[in-house]
Amino acid sequence: MATGFFWDERCFWHHGGDYALTLPVGGYVQPGAGGLPDGPETKRRLKNLMSVSGLDRELAMRGAAEATREELLRVHPAKYLDAFKTMSDAGGGELGLRTPFGRGGYEVAALSAGLATEAVRAVCRGEIDNAYSLSRPPGHHCKPDWPNGFCLMANIAIAIEAARAEGRAERVAVLDWDVHHGNGTEACFWECAEVLTISIHQERNYPLDTGSASDRGAGAGEGANLNIPLPPGVGHRGYLAAMDRLVLPAIRAHAPDLVIVACGYDAGGMDPLGRMFCTAETFREMTLRVKALAGEICGGRLVLVHEGGYSEAHVPFLGHATLEALSGTSIRVPDPLADTLVKRQPGPAFDAFVDGLIAEQAEAAGL
N- to C-terminal Cα separation, the chain: 35
Please tell me whether residue 310 adopts helix, strand or coil conformation.
coil
> CA 134, CA 4: separation in Å to the nearest integer?
11
Query: Strands 60-62, 172-176: parallel, antiparallel or unpaired by DSSP?
Result: unpaired
Question: What is the number of residues in the chain?
Answer: 367
Bridge partners (DSSP) of residue 94 are: 100
Give the DSSP H or E segment for 88: helix 78-89
The phi-psi region of residue 149 (left if phi > 0; otherwise alpha if psi is between -120 and 50; otherwise beta) is left
- 141 catalytic residue (yes or no): yes
The conformation of residue 59, written as its DSSP 8-state character, comes to S
The conformation of residue 66, written as its DSSP 8-state character, comes to P
Please tell me whether residue 307 adopts helix, strand or coil conformation.
coil
Can you state the angle between helices 235-242 and 348-365, rounded to 10 degrees?
Answer: 20
> CA 71, CA 210: separation in Å to the nearest integer?
27
Residue closest to 186 by CA, chosen among 177, 194, 196, 178: 196
CB 152 within 8 A of CB 109: yes
Q: How many CB atoms lie within 10 A of CB 170?
A: 12
In the set 141, 180, 181, 314, the catalytic residue is: 141
> CA 191, CA 214: separation in Å to the nearest integer?
15
DSSP 22-41: TEESBTTBPPPSSSSSS-SH
Q: How many CB atoms lie within 10 A of CB 353?
A: 14
Active-site annotation, residues = 141
